A = this chain, B = another copy of it.
Amino acid sequence: MTKPLNFQSIILKLQQFWADQGCLLWQPYYTQVGAGTMNPATYLRVLGPEPWRVGYVEPSIRPDDGRYGENPNRMQMHYQFQVILKPDPGNPQEIYLESLQALGVDPRRHDIRFVEDNWMQPALGAWGLGWEVWLDGQEITQFTYFQQAGGLPLDPVSVELTYGLERIAIALQRVNSFRDIQWSPTLTDGDVNLQAEQEHSKYYFETANVERLRQMYDLFEAEAKNSLDQGLVLPAHDYILKCSHTFNVLDTRGAVGVTERQALFGRMRELSRRVAEAYVAQRQQLEFPWLETTEAESNEMVLSVPASVIIPAATSPAPFLLEIGTEELPAADLDSALEQLKEKVPALLDGLRLEHGDVQVFGTPRRLVVQVVDLAVRQRDLEQLIKGPPADRAFGPDGMPSKAAEGFARSKGVAVEELQERELDSGRYAVAIVRQDGRPTSAVLSEALPGLVAGLHFEKSMRWNSSNVAFSRPVRWLLALYGESVVPFAYAGLQSANSTYGLRSYQPASFEVSSPQAYFESLKEQGILLDPVERRSEIAAQIRTLAAQADGEIADDPDLLGEVTNLVEAPFALLGSFDASHLKLPREVLVSVMKKHQRYFPVEKDGKLLPYFIAVRNGDGDGLDLVREGNEHVIRARFTDAAYFVRQDIKRPLDAYLPKLDLLTFQLKLGSMLDKTRRIVELVDDLAAQVSMKADELSAARRAAELCKADLATQMVVEMTSLQGTMGRYYALNSDETEPVALAIFEHYLPRFAGDVSPRTLPGLVVGLADRLDTLAGLFAAGLAPTGNKDPYAQRRAALGLVQNLIAWSLDFDLRRGLEAASSHLPIPQPPQNQAAVLEFITERLRNLLLDQGARYDVVDAVLSAQGHNPALSAQAVEQLTGWVGRPDWDQILPTYSRCVRITREFENRFPLSADNFAEPAEVELYKALTTAEAAPRAPGSVDDFLQAFLPMMPAINHFFDEVLVMADDERLRQNRLGLLQRIAGLAEGVADMSKLEGF
């Protein structure tokens, strides 16, 4: 084996490789950037129509990745090699893989994977779709099709490749850490960079002065604006980059709250948008000079089916095969595409009058495959009867066709004498009988297949070439065989053919197949399992076997299994291990790293994790040790990172993190997260007035309130926000807090997502209530109510969680009091109309929830109008009222009640009611029934209780209306009767506004 390249030689190789590919070689940017993308050579040059190819190194500064040099591959500065290909050359993945070979990576002996990764950089208003490229489990490159930058859609799309140079060097040199990378023949990366890692980590995490950095940020921003106002694009961009770096340092210092983050991102994005627009305008004014200087791109995308393609006549039904060859599809998109094809293909064939046998749909990340068995040779013939003008206008009295008839016949392509008269449902008409002979299947499919492909839709889709079609990922080849003949069609700048691609690492990359059957056999030979069901069970079997080898088992996880199934074509599982010492980490952390980051299957035994994992590679056993080593390196690095965080974090008890919350802005007007914490504590006390708790529950809730946000300041949570609460609980126990306190810290975030559970303990519930009430009241007071579909602070989720929890606990809770209490603790005033708006906002979530559960609009309206401020009771009431409106006698109950309401509705004032003023017995009778009803015991908000009390009054009411003239001339009588009816109407108060109900 030749000696692996050293670090500087890797760079030289990549420079030479990409220069040979026509890239201009560029230099790193002269200001701290988080990624090569921010270099104007990418960020600006991807804008506009001009072609551009560039390659450069970029030392990328990411303060929060600083690990004091202790992590194998996570550093505050790493080196990227950045490549931009604009427009898409048509085969960027292949070129990229060649570059890896140039570096000495043998694709047959490694597992190289393209794993979905949708990139976005909010501060630059940029996003794209693509992948992380994994080399033996290690992310070594980011591969992105840029869709937008500075908020502008990109046309043409640029391909961005970002190599992580240290990770490549680690893999090539088979060393364990960046410190051991041979940089030059004599010195290592550690020699030249370790000190920097240690010092900058300390600076970013410990000593950077927050106040000064904030001032710098403001100054940079002001200079960016100033530059933009002067039309200076590049100086403005420089200052945005400085803003961005400063923001990152502030963030690493833990000084940026969620809401402040949004605000700062918004400001940077807005500036970036202006920069992008100004740049494009500039180039336009120069008349896009580079459009001329490079030779016209040859891939004119307006392909069409060549006339010369001869469609051979088939003589008997034959199998049809369609393969849409793609770059690696995201797992979910693959599922979705297969579902769509299963539905669309039979429908398409039927619509085309093509007889067929079974339709089978298969797929891997790189191909969508449809096989149709026994597809007929031709369409069925068609006879259509087409209605023309009315007979009397079509034919003269002499039976001669009129001008109208002639026109009609001509438009349908029949001779006028072939028109017939027919009696149709609306009268007699001239009709034409149009016959259409079935056309050959190939011809029909040639026309129809582009539409089939175009009709596939994805949650996120992308453009990549000048055909400007959208797909989940680029389509790179089209195979369409009918029997042994190609079905010619064109789509996305491609021409269908009879060739396909095997596994990427196999040679030849592309080969022809003579028939559908030959196709299936060829792929099978390479180990590609086209059928996802088969792949899934194969993987399940392999991982079971491997787990057993480690004396363990794999917990059932259909989601993960499904995802992995969609990540490989030829699954080959391998067992990796890690140091058992990592098992000391919280299980959630380990599992989260293995599953979410690496798509590994954790191995466990009796519910306890074992120091193993199972990865599934693409391909076969070639170079298996290399692949295992790579994967083990990755997991070691990740666990080391997590362990590092936890080790740092538990150096101090959880409550020691509280002061740091003061650095974390919740929202500018609402203060820090520590301020918020203090309000939550006060609010928990207030809520105790509405929620019965035992003494120990109350004290647990109070303590949990104090600590509930503390873990936000810990490094583990800063790193993996999804572990908030989880780590809080873990750290709380580690800090000798009681179990209920720790649990409440965890639970106050529940439910965390749709379908998640509610808290099981009262302290958890109450702290969560207080937190959400404060969030909602506070943000509304700060003028930050969600508008349109903008909800940057996730207030909808907060409100929904609030409602769900109250309902889950059936907790009789008046939101109005809760919001009032919350508002009273805010540092800014809450105008009453605002408070109403918050309530309205929460009630809206409640309304949607109830409707989603199937309740009738009118029922929900009726209840919420009366008691929307109390979600739990409202939910009960809706359920009850739903029962009542389903009763067969409802058409008597409701009208009886509504009569009382309608006649009194126009009066705003309440009329006095006095027994002295009754003139008729029916009045007395009704009054008696009313007092009985009013005296009945009723649970708050209960529809059942209200209507059970009302039911017995019905005869009296009906009698009353029969006997008594309500609107008597005598004002005293009239007012007294109205008063009586108002009292009846009032029975529904706080329960439901019955007038909202249908049939009222």
| Chain A interface residues toward B at CB < 8 A | 8-9, 11-12, 15-16, 19, 22-33, 40-41, 57, 59, 61, 77, 79, 183-187, 191-192, 195-196, 199-200, 202-203, 206-209, 212, 215-216, 219, 222-223, 226-227, 230, 232-235, 282, 289-290, 293-294
| Chain B residue nearest to A239 in the complex (CB) | B203
| B230→A196 contact, CB < 8 A | no
A290 neighbours in B (Cβ, 8 Å): 187, 191
If A12-B15, A234-B200 touch, whether A184 touches B223 (CB-CB below 8 Å) is: no
| Chain B residue nearest to A45 in the complex (CB) | B192
Q: Sample 9 A-B pairs with CB under 8 A, ordered by A number.
A: A12-B15, A24-B183, A26-B192, A27-B28, A186-B293, A199-B235, A209-B226, A212-B222, A215-B219
A759 to chain B, nearest CB (A): 43
Contact of A32 among B23, B31, B196, B289 (CB under 8 A): B31
| B203→A212 contact, CB < 8 A | no
A199 neighbours in B (Cβ, 8 Å): 232-235
A15 neighbours in B (Cβ, 8 Å): 12
A200 neighbours in B (Cβ, 8 Å): 232, 234-235
A878 to chain B, nearest CB (A): 59
| Chain B residue nearest to A212 in the complex (CB) | B219
What's the Cα separation between A199 and B19 when bound, in Å?
Answer: 28
A226 neighbours in B (Cβ, 8 Å): 207, 209
How many identical chains are in the complex?
Answer: 2
If A24-B187, A30-B30 touch, whether A12 touches B16 (CB-CB below 8 Å) is: yes
If A28-B27, A32-B30, A235-B200 touch, whether A209 touches B230 (CB-CB below 8 Å) is: no
What's the Cα separation between A290 and B27 when bound, in Å?
Answer: 29
If A27-B59, A186-B294 touch, whether A195 touches B234 (CB-CB below 8 Å) is: yes
What's the Cα separation between A289 and B184 when bound, in Å?
Answer: 16
If A19-B12, A289-B191 touch, whether A212 touches B223 (CB-CB below 8 Å) is: yes
A219 neighbours in B (Cβ, 8 Å): 212, 215-216, 219
A59 neighbours in B (Cβ, 8 Å): 27, 30
A21 to chain B, nearest CB (A): 11
Contact of A196 among B16, B212, B234 (CB under 8 A): B234
| B183→A203 contact, CB < 8 A | no
A-B residue pairs, 5 tightest by C-beta: A8-B25, A24-B184, A203-B235, A199-B232, A199-B234
| A230→B216 contact, CB < 8 A | no
A30 neighbours in B (Cβ, 8 Å): 28-33, 59, 61, 77
What's the Cα separation between A696 and B186 when bound, in Å?
Answer: 77
What's the Cα separation between A187 and B61 when bound, in Å?
Answer: 29
| B184→A203 contact, CB < 8 A | no
A32 neighbours in B (Cβ, 8 Å): 30-31
| A215→B212 contact, CB < 8 A | no
A19 neighbours in B (Cβ, 8 Å): 8-9, 12, 184
| Chain B residue nearest to A192 in the complex (CB) | B24
A207 neighbours in B (Cβ, 8 Å): 226-227, 230, 232, 235
| Chain B residue nearest to A196 in the complex (CB) | B234
| B203→A232 contact, CB < 8 A | yes
What's the Cα separation between A743 and B219 when bound, in Å?
Answer: 44
What's the Cα separation between A208 and B226 when bound, in Å?
Answer: 8
| Chain B residue nearest to A283 in the complex (CB) | B195
What's the Cα separation between A294 and B186 when bound, in Å?
Answer: 7
| Chain B residue nearest to A44 in the complex (CB) | B195
A22 neighbours in B (Cβ, 8 Å): 185-186
A202 neighbours in B (Cβ, 8 Å): 230, 232
A33 neighbours in B (Cβ, 8 Å): 30
What's the Cα separation between A207 and B219 when bound, in Å?
Answer: 14
What's the Cα separation between A184 and B19 when bound, in Å?
Answer: 8
A234 to chain B, nearest CB (A): 5
A201 to chain B, nearest CB (A): 10
Contact of A187 among B11, B187, B293 (CB under 8 A): B293
A203 neighbours in B (Cβ, 8 Å): 227, 230, 232, 235
What's the Cα separation between A232 and B198 when bound, in Å?
Answer: 9
| Chain B residue nearest to A220 in the complex (CB) | B216
A27 neighbours in B (Cβ, 8 Å): 28, 57, 59, 79
What's the Cα separation between A111 and B328 when bound, in Å?
Answer: 59
Most B C-beta atoms less than 10 A away, residue of A8, A208, A293: A8
A230 neighbours in B (Cβ, 8 Å): 202-203, 206-207
What's the Cα separation between A23 and B28 when bound, in Å?
Answer: 20
A951 to chain B, nearest CB (A): 77
| Chain B residue nearest to A25 in the complex (CB) | B8
A16 neighbours in B (Cβ, 8 Å): 12
What's the Cα separation between A114 and B293 when bound, in Å?
Answer: 40
A23 neighbours in B (Cβ, 8 Å): 184
What's the Cα separation between A40 and B196 when bound, in Å?
Answer: 10
What's the Cα separation between A11 and B12 when bound, in Å?
Answer: 11
| Chain B residue nearest to A235 in the complex (CB) | B203
What's the Cα separation between A294 and B196 when bound, in Å?
Answer: 22
Contact of A12 among B12, B191, B282 (CB under 8 A): B12
A209 neighbours in B (Cβ, 8 Å): 222-223, 226
| B8→A24 contact, CB < 8 A | yes
A77 neighbours in B (Cβ, 8 Å): 30
A216 neighbours in B (Cβ, 8 Å): 216, 219
A428 to chain B, nearest CB (A): 75
A179 to chain B, nearest CB (A): 13
A12 neighbours in B (Cβ, 8 Å): 12, 15-16, 19, 25
What's the Cα separation between A207 and B77 when bound, in Å?
Answer: 32
A223 neighbours in B (Cβ, 8 Å): 208-209, 212
A29 neighbours in B (Cβ, 8 Å): 30
A24 neighbours in B (Cβ, 8 Å): 8, 183-184, 186-187, 192
A234 neighbours in B (Cβ, 8 Å): 195-196, 199-200
What's the Cα separation between A227 and B282 when bound, in Å?
Answer: 41
A212 neighbours in B (Cβ, 8 Å): 219, 222-223
A163 to chain B, nearest CB (A): 14
| Chain B residue nearest to A11 in the complex (CB) | B25
A290 to chain B, nearest CB (A): 7
| B184→A282 contact, CB < 8 A | no
